[in-house]
Amino acid sequence: MKILFLDQSGKPGGAELCLIDIAKPYREKALVGLFADGSFKTLLQQHSIPVEVLGTQAIKVSKDSSLFQALFSLGQLVPLIKKVIQRAQEYDLIYANTQKALVIGAIASFFARRPLVYHLHDILSKEHFSQTNLNVAITLANRFASLVIANSQASKTAFIQAGGKSGIVKVVYNGFTPQTYQIPETEIQKTRTELGLESKFIIGHFSRLAPWKGQHILISALTNCPPETTVILVGDALFGEQDYIQQLHQQVKELKLENRVKFLGFRSDIPQLMAACNLVAHTSIAPEPFGRVIVEAMLSGRPVVAAKAGGAVELVEQGINGFLVTPANPQELAQVITACIQEPEKTATIAKNAQINASLRFDVTTINQQIAQLLATIKSKLQ
Ligand code: UDP
């Protein structure tokens, strides 16, 4: 099947990393059309996935834009829309991987008469989006998408609650290659030495720096954790949240934690860094649509503590394969981290369970089969 994948982002967030795995099996006959240039394009090229930057003008609709702003922005996008319609005619199906890709993909689907699939990586609720954005996404998905692939039950439920048609939405989790997360002990020690944290209890936080990802909750929790605990914050502000970075640095300074918090910026060696951690913390204060980092921590054999909301609840079973804490509650987070340090054997058993279970549940081959089966149903409807 010839697929035109569309994604708005020039930088690789979770949705983009997931798209690499989805597009790979189709790469002989597929194209990934991006609406912005950047490091995501390079990453796709490294995986030999054909990619073209179809638009370079930034789409100015933000997550809380009004309808007027949205329409004004649409006017500026005519060249991009024309290009996508043109490309779509060479492919069997349009696969929109982000919300802005859904908008452009829906228009192209109409004019090029190609079916549209929307991969929903978001929780479509007012916590994350303006009412206008919600209305646009739901209306377009209902009207134009033959299939909506939700990345969790939580994303599916929010879609339906916001007015999305239940008949078109199916849940498929993100897939992973478990072997990628098996790092030799010598390499682990090397990374810990490079970080200058050989003797520390390293808590890793892997996420773009954004207020709703709750890095400030972890910093706050650190004041109630044993002195040997150190945090590494891995990630950068992908969508311009520079104020939040300043806020985090200020918080670290005020709490006198300069020696216990390291900002590593965006990194592409996540498996190596995760393996060097003693624990991985996920601290989102709004419901997480899926939470790739939670599964990655499990595959790395590291204990994971996650904020109990959204997709995280589908991934973690308290005390069985990880730990769940109330979102935005630093005291509770500190208690769980301290318990993990005090009960290393119990914690290691839980991490081992998680690793075995996640290797089966999220294997990329199985996940890609699920997607192929869903896409095949669209193809058969067309014939
Ligand atoms: N990630 C990365 N480099 C970083 C920080 C994060 O490659 O410096 C990856 C992380 O390993 C995960 C993804 O970005 O695969 C984030 O996905 P997640 O579902 O956790 O959050 P999202 O960005 O989709 O909200």
Which has the closest alpha carbon to 164: 134, 204, 189, 202? Answer: 134
**Whether residue 139 sits in one domain with residue 83:** yes
Give 209-240 pLDDT, tens digit per residue: 999 999 999 999 999 999 999 999 999 997 77
Tell me how many degrees the CA angle 154-222-356 measures, rounded to the nearest 5.
50
pLDDT of residue 76: 75
Q: Are residues 142 and 193 in the same domain?
A: no
Number of domains in the chain: 2
Q: How far is the CA of 290 from the centre of ligand 1 (A)?
A: 11
- 296: Cβ below 6 Å to ligand 1? yes
Q: How confident is the model at residue 302 (pLDDT cuts 50, 70, 90)?
A: very high
Pocket of ligand 1 contains residue 313 by CB under 6 Å: no
Taking only the tens place, the pLDDT of each residue in 128-158 is: 999 999 999 999 999 999 999 999 999 999 9
Residues 144, 197: one domain?
Answer: no
Whether 293 is in the pocket of ligand 1, judged by its Cβ within 6 Å, is yes
Q: How far is the CA of 189 from the centre of ligand 1 (A)?
A: 23
DSSP 249-269: HHHHHHTT-TTTEEEEES-S-
Query: What is the DSSP track for 155-215?
Result: HHHHHHHTT--GGGEEE-PPPB-GGGG---HHHHHHHHHHHT-TTSEEEEEES---GGG-H
Return d(Cα 176, Cα 367) in angstroms, integer: 9
Instruction: Identify which of 119, 206, 267, 280 to mutate to test ligand 1's pocket (most ligand atoms within 8 A of the CB).
Output: 206
In angstroms, the CA 292 to CA 261 distance is 23
Q: Establish how many alpha carbons lie within 13 A of residue 353's alpha carbon, considering only the half-sphere containing its beta carbon.
A: 16
Cα–Cα distance for residue pair 158/340, rounded to 1 Å: 33
Q: Are residues 188 and 336 in the same domain?
A: yes
**Order of strands, sheet of 279-281, starting from the edge strand that comes earlier in the sequence:** 261-265, 229-234, 201-206, 279-281, 304-307, 323-325
pLDDT of residue 247: 97
Cα 211 to middle of ligand 1, angstroms: 15
274/217 same-domain check: yes
Q: What is the CATH number of the domain that holds 332?
A: 3.40.50.2000
Containing domain of residue 97, as a range?
3-175+363-382
Rg (CA), the chain: 21
List the residue whose alpha carbon is closest to atom 22 of ligand 1: 14
- Residue pair 310/159 in contact (Cβ under 8 Å)? The answer is no
Q: Is the CB of 306 under 6 A from ligand 1?
A: no
Render 287-315 in DSSP notation, one character per residue. -BS--HHHHHHHHTT--EEEESSBTHHHH
Task: Give the per-residue pLDDT at 280.
Answer: 99
- Check whether residue 92 and residue 147 sit in a common domain: yes
* Cα 206 to averaged position of ligand 1 atoms, centre (Å): 6
Ligand 1: centre distance to CA 20 (Å): 13
Q: Residue whose CA is closest, atom 16 of ligand 1?
A: 14
Same domain, 262 and 369: no
| Alpha helices for the chain (secondary structure H) | 14-23, 39-46, 67-76, 78-88, 99-112, 131-144, 153-161, 185-195, 215-222, 242-254, 270-275, 292-299, 312-315, 330-342, 344-361, 364-382
Q: What is the predicted pLDDT for the residue at 241?
A: 85
Q: Is 323 helix (H, G, I), strand (E, B) or coil?
A: strand
Indicate if the pLDDT at residue 60 is higher than 60.
no
Tokens of 187: 């390499």
291 Cβ closer than 6 Å to some ligand 1 atom = yes
Mean residue pLDDT of the chain comes to: 95
Residue 353 and residue 349: Cα distance in Å, rounded? 6
What pLDDT is recorded for position 68?
62
Judge if 183 and 157 occupy the same domain. Answer: no
Read off the tokens for 58.
């930034």
Q: Do 368 and 340 belong together in one domain?
A: no
- pLDDT of res. 188: 98
Q: What is the pLDDT of residues 69-119, one digit of tens each?
A: 666 667 778 999 999 999 999 999 999 999 999 999 999 999 999 999 999
Query: Same domain for 84 and 220?
Result: no
The one-letter amino acid code at 141 reads A
Q: Are residues 51 and 197 in the same domain?
A: no
The reply to whether 64 and 105 lie within a common domain is yes
Spacing, Cα 105 to ligand 1 middle (Å):
25
Predicted confidence band of residue 67 (pLDDT cuts 50, 70, 90): low
